[in-house]
Amino acid sequence: MATSRPQVFIESAALYMGWRDETRNLSELIFDTVRRAIDDSLHGLNDIESVVLAAHDLVDGRSLSSMVTAPAAGAYLRDEIRFSDDGAVALAAAVARIEAGEATRSIVAAWGRASEHDVDALSMSMFDPFIQGPMGLNEIQVSAMRAQLWLQAGGQYTDHSGAVKRRQAAAAANERALHTKSRKSQPNYPLTADDLPAWADVVAAVVVSSKGGPVKIKGMGQASEPYAIGDRKLLAMKSARKACDLALKDAGLTLKDLDLFEIGGLTLMDEAIVLEAIGLAGAGQGLSVLANHPAVNLSGGSAAGFCDPAMGLVRVVEAALQLQGLAGAIQRPGVQRALAICPAIVAAQTHTAIVLESAS
């Protein structure tokens, strides 16, 4: 006999963006952020059964990092799973566990502290060590390669300055964004310094539950492409398109039904190309949409703060706050449904898309 899946809700969400806070170590940053999410939730900590984390030993700079950091995320004496992948992947796993009846309430947390590691060196270590590693590739260079393909295909660059100004203004207005100076990376042609992410120390946390909450998780989708960048079409972003299509199908909605879009990407150009891949912008029009669309990346995207593997959960937190009317100065009126989509390394091989809906 077929049974319907239980509805899963986000009870609460919390986010930290900073840079080299000398008053708190990583475990304290995690504890403080997760505690805020728990304090804002409907039922507190006692009946939370599971914790799903997204964290990476190389990012944390700690061998077996979860042994040190997981208790700060509420995992002590609780079932715990950790993904060395994007935070949206951890959220999808937590939701699937609730739908399967393995839990009713879960903490999902993701973090990365860019001030404690060399982001470019870490990026290089993710590529195949025998074929791609000797080339010295990093994620920003692959983003530049993708941008070159976009220009060669006729991408409209005239709105670049407008897109830069709009996302910088959005990040400046976002109270949760990074508002201090941090590490700078070197841009590669045709990327400029304004295209690059603002490296940050990031912690994001949500409490998900089948018991109810202000935000429904309406649909989810995930898709991957071949690991080697030479085995996939970098410009096509097929995993983004498929993940978005699956999430919308799961939710029973179309892009036109959505009021807000949190689009993840390492650089401004990656965000623009994802917009084209999912169908929110025409071919070559991604920068124009970023410059002019009133519902896209009101948070500032990667200019508001960036550190893998937390970014997918950051996109979800920003969308969830919009749906609750808690986004502060960047709040968009009348947001009822939102899409959060974010890639995972290596070089946006995998995308996870989450459709959210206000429960009120």
pLDDT tens column, 187-219: 999 999 999 999 999 999 999 999 999 999 999
Our CA dihedral for 211, 357, 310, 134, rounded to 10 degrees, sits at: 130
What's the whole-number mean pLDDT along residues 7-20?
A: 97
Q: Is 23 helix (H, G, I), strand (E, B) or coil?
A: coil
Distance CA 265, CA 240 (A): 11
The percent of residues above 70 in pLDDT, for the chain, comes to 99
**Residue 265 pLDDT class (50, 70, 90 cuts):** very high
| CB neighbourhood size of 158 (10 A) | 9
| The pLDDT of residue 296 is above 70 | yes
| The pLDDT of residue 77 is above 80 | yes
| Predicted local distance difference test score (pLDDT) of residue 64 | 79
> Which H or E run includes 120?
helix 119-125
| The pLDDT of residue 1 is above 60 | no
Q: What is the DSSP letter of 15?
A: E
What's the whole-number mean pLDDT along residues 256-282?
A: 98
| The pLDDT of residue 185 is above 70 | yes
User: Strands 201-209 and 215-224, how do they pair?
Assistant: unpaired
**Residue 3 pLDDT class (50, 70, 90 cuts):** low
Domains in the chain: ranges and CATH: 9-117+200-209 (3.40.47.10)
Sign of dihedral through CA atoms 249, 262, 346, 98? negative
DSSP string for 272-337: HHHHHHHTSS-TT-HHHHHHH-TTB-TT-GGGG-B-TTSHHHHHHHHHHHHHTT--GGGPPTT--E
197, burial (CB in 10 Å: exposed 0-12, middle 13-18, buried 19+): buried
| The pLDDT of residue 290 is above 70 | yes
Distance CA 348, CA 262 (A): 16
List helix spans (H) across 132-281: 139-152, 160-173, 238-251, 268-278
What's the whole-number mean pLDDT along residues 81-88?
A: 93
| The pLDDT of residue 134 is above 90 | no
Q: Is 194 helix (H, G, I), strand (E, B) or coil?
A: helix
Distance CA 310, CA 22 (A): 21
Assessment of whether the complete model's pTM goes beyond 0.95: yes
Segment among 36-50, 59-73, 243-257 with least mean pLDDT? 59-73
What's the whole-number mean pLDDT along residues 323-346?
A: 96
Nearest to 237 by CA among 344, 128, 118: 344
What's the whole-number mean pLDDT along residues 144-156?
A: 97
| Predicted local distance difference test score (pLDDT) of residue 2 | 47
| The pLDDT of residue 128 is above 50 | yes
| Amino acid at the residue 244 | C
Query: What's the helix, strand, coil split of the chain in %, to 5?
Result: 40, 20, 40
Q: Enumerate the β-bridge partners of residue 83.
A: 54
**Residue 31 pLDDT class (50, 70, 90 cuts):** very high
67, burial (CB in 10 Å: exposed 0-12, middle 13-18, buried 19+): exposed
What's the whole-number mean pLDDT along residues 28-57?
A: 94
